[in-house]
Amino acid sequence: MLHPDEGVIHELLDGELGPEDTEAVRRHIAECGDCLRLYEEARELAAVTDRVIASLDDTRAELNEGFDGMEPIPAPPAANVGAGAPVVLMPSAPVAPKWRRTQPRGGLWAAVLLLVLGGGGYLLLRDGGHENAPPAALPALAALPAESVPPPSADSIADAAAEARAQAALASRPPLGTAALDLVRADTSRQASRDSARDTTRSARRDTANARTQPRDTAPQLAAAARRERQAEPAALTKSLASNAAPAPTLDRAQPRADRAAAAADRSTRDIPAESVAPPRVAAAPASPPTLDVQAQITSRIGLDDAKRELGTPLHAIEGLRPRLVGLVPGRLVPGADPSRNVVRAVYLDANGQPFYLDQQRVGASGPRRAGGIVKGDVQLFLNGNVPPDSAQSLAQRLR
Amino acid sequence: MTDIAELFTLYHASLVRMVYRRTGDRDRAEDIAQETFARAVAAPPTNPRPWLFAVALNLVREDGRRSVRQGRRLQLLRAEGPDAMPAPDEAFERDEGRLAVQRALATLNDRDREALLLKAEGFNYEEIAATLGMSRGAIGTTLARARRRLVDAYRMQGRSADAAS
């Protein structure tokens, strides 16, 4: 036989060749190293393509309603697939409220702080210049050297904002016991602190990028970038309060300062010590029941066409019952079976809502067999899961 | 005559998903699917699946008919308001990966891209050929080329991003 071209190899992979051609091409590939390499490469291309295209889908639950006519597809539990009971990685109690996701976070709190400090500084300066001011009045902020005022760090600003947010979150929660309250407070505070530091980093990076790409005469944008930069860099904020008359920033000034702001925000993110992030307390959060995919150890759902391609024949099913989902599971159903042929699992639910599985794998007409299963053509089938022995026989008789 | 309700049940979700993957715009995908089924009501197809997807892809290529664009604008107006907007950071992170795939897909020509998207919807070669107006024998070669180009473009982007960072 001549070497099959790449299109024929993809046809073979997609199950689109007739039985005779399939056999001939397979035999050739088994004997020809070049074609075997081409075949392996094509398999990888097809697998990567499927994965890449599937990643285009929006995994938000509300957008998956109705897909495949089944229940909404949850976010893929990649780390948990096939690993038995699911691992809850995050406590579900402190859910971020909607306003926190729709409003600017760190920037808002920094702006409030700026207003408070700015107003106070202005009052102090005004009082300091008044004739009737008592001699023992507080020293004016402007009269002190900038270094003598301990600048608030980015962390302290983030912590203050986080604490305020934690208080707000606690106020909106039902009363808890003292211990639980402390746990929730610490959790919310840590989470908010990380969120705030991350937000500061991102916004400073964007400002930096914007400052670099703006033309020189876009003063309003530069002024806005400089304002945000001052919020991200507390030392610069204190100095600007002391001078109380900062000129409009230019591109030449804004660029290095924005760089410093990004660096400072980066430091503030890095400086959160790893040990301060407590491991998630699995017991504190009510574990959500595993999805049917996880229970059934399905690595990827497939459609009937894909099942047909894997099995070389339409999916076998139990007459009168509707599979809840069909997918691939790892491993081999029959020792010695072709490892390139995946095990297809049709998942059913019994009257009590317990899943049981009709597993099937193509083993070929003269391929290996395993006792206890059912053979239909080239496919060997097994009923797995919680199937009572008396039901197994009647279900087996209804296999189509 | 084909029962339009049955067609809708069978193919609507798949059609919306394919158009969404093609355009990256959920509202537009819904509108185009709606327009496609409206046309199926007016002229019931005999071979519905390839027909529906061919009509939808034509609408995508035409960048939507006027009615679709109007509908889209209305949707956008209705969606205005703070609740409809995801947080910028959230949207940025979620969209980054999808944009990389969209950019890789954009390097393919229309025919290759659509063949891939139809294959991902479970179409067999006959159906892909019928939908795209190609010969059945050309589908294997088309898919082979399209898969290779997509993966190359996608990996190239990954390398560019690594080099930039």
Examine the fold and report which residue of B38, B60, B85 is the final residue of a domain before the chain moves on.
B85
Mean pLDDT estimate for chain B? 81
Closest partner residue to A50 (CB to CB) among B17, B120, B154 is B120
- Cα–Cα dist A11/A18, whole Å: 10
- Per-residue pLDDT at A383: 85
CA distance B26 to A37: 40
Is there a single domain that holds both residue A259 and residue A369? Answer: no
Please tell me whether residues B11 and B80 are part of one structural domain.
yes
Whether residue B40 sits in one domain with residue B59:
yes
Report the distance separating Cα A327 and Cα A297, nearest Å.
9
Chain B residues with CB inside 8 Å of A7's CB?
138-144
| Chain A residues in contact with B87 (beta carbon < 8 A) | 101-102
- DSSP type of residue A15: T
Question: Tokens at residue B21, please?
Answer: 């993957």
* Pair (B117, B54) in one structural domain: no
CB contact under 8 A, B87 and A102: yes
**Residues B160 and B97 occupy one common structural domain:** yes
Q: Is A58 on the interface with B (CB under 8 A)?
A: yes
Average pLDDT by consecutive 10-residue portion of chain A (400 residues)? 88 92 91 91 92 76 42 38 37 45 60 78 58 43 42 53 57 45 46 51 51 44 52 45 41 50 51 45 58 81 83 85 84 74 86 84 77 80 78 78
At residue A375, the 3 state secondary structure works out as strand
Q: B158 and chain A: CB distance < 8 Å anywhere?
A: no
Residue A60 lies in a domain: no
Strands A355-362 and A300-301: unpaired
Both A371 and A392 in one domain: the answer is yes
**Residues B117, A53: C-beta atoms closer than 8 Å:** yes
What's chain A's average pLDDT? 64
Give the distance, in angstroms, between the CA of residue A367 and the centroid of all CA atoms in the same chain.
Answer: 42
Alpha carbon distance B107, B113 (integer Å): 9
What CA dihedral angle connects A113, A119, A120 and A126, to 10 degrees?
160
In a domain, A302, yes or no: yes
B94 pLDDT tier (thresholds 50, 70, 90):
low
Residues spanned by the domain of B142: 86-165
Confidence of residue B150 (pLDDT cuts 50, 70, 90): very high
Same domain as A307, residue A242 = no
In a domain, A75, yes or no: no
Query: Whole domain around residue A149: which residue ranges?
Result: 98-284
| CA dist list (Å): A108 to A115, A157, A162, A196 | 11, 11, 12, 10
Banded pLDDT at B97 (limits 50, 70, 90): confident
Looking at the structure of chain B, the number of domains it has is 2
Model pLDDT, residue A165: 63
pLDDT of residue A114: 82
pLDDT at position A54 is 87
Regarding whether B99 and B71 lie in a shared domain, the answer is no
- The phi and psi torsions of A15 (rounded to 5 degrees) equal 70, 30
Residues of chain A positioned with their CB less than 8 A from the CB of B5: none
Could you tell me if residue A305 is inside a domain?
yes
What are the pLDDT digits (tens) for B12-71?
999 999 999 888 888 889 989 999 999 998 888 888 999 999 999 999 888 655 555 555
Residues 6+ apart with CB under 8 A from B155: none
Among the three residues A258, A284, A310, which one is the final residue of a domain in this structure? A284
Residues B98 and B64 in one domain: no
Residue A85 lies in a domain: no
Kindly determine whether residue A52 and residue B86, on different chains, have CB atoms separated by under 8 Å: no
CB contact (8 A) between residue B143 and residue A14: yes
Predicted ipTM of the assembly:
0.79
Domain termination residue (choose one: B64, B85, B106): B85
Which residues are CB-neighbours of A197 under 8 A, at least 6 positions away? A106, A154, A155, A158, A265, A268, A269, A272
Q: From the CA of A202, how many Å to the nearest CA of chain B?
A: 8
Mark whether A125 and A256 lie in a shared domain. Answer: yes
Residue, of A109 and B122, whose pLDDT is higher: B122
Touching check for A101 and chain B: CB below 8 Å?
A: yes
HSE at residue A232, side-chain half, CA atoms within 13 A, is 32
Q: Where does chain A have alpha helices with state H?
A: 6-13, 19-31, 33-54, 61-64, 98-102, 106-128, 154-171, 178-213, 219-232, 234-243, 251-270, 292-295, 304-311, 389-397
How many structural domains comprise chain A? 3
Domain boundary residue, one of B59, B85, B111: B85
Residues from chain A contacting residue B147 (CB–CB below 8 Å) = 10, 42, 45-46, 48-49
